[in-house]
Amino acid sequence: MRTLCQEAHELLMARQEGYGEMTASWKRIAGAVSRRTGSFVGAETALWVLIEMKFERDRNSPENADHLRDAIGYLGILGQLRAEEASVRRSDTAVIRLERA
């Protein structure tokens, strides 16, 4: 039997094949929300909105495992996004060091 984490990972991989790379997609979504609302919304914030929505749905219908599976998937994307941003910060710091040398 597969775990919710395994199911979430499989679903993410299937969606990525159909919709493209997930972190890039969430950055575009955040940009669209920012333009629509006139206030900056980052990809991390946009993901947290959906994670909280899934938690709220789980509170109201805990028998439906889809809510937790989806929240796990969104948390996985959030982890990827943070890892990418940390990598960019490390490379930016390396460039600054090289420029100062």
pLDDT tens per residue across all 101 residues of the chain: 889 899 998 988 898 888 889 999 999 999 999 999 999 999 999 999 999 999 999 999 999 999 999 999 999 999 999 999 898 877 766 655 656 65
Written as six digits, the tokens of 16 are 């990525």
Residues 6+ apart with CB under 8 A from 77: 12, 22, 23, 26, 47
Parse the chain into domains and list their residue ranges.
Answer: 4-100
Determine the Cα–Cα distance for residues 19 and 28; give it in Å rounded to an integer. 12
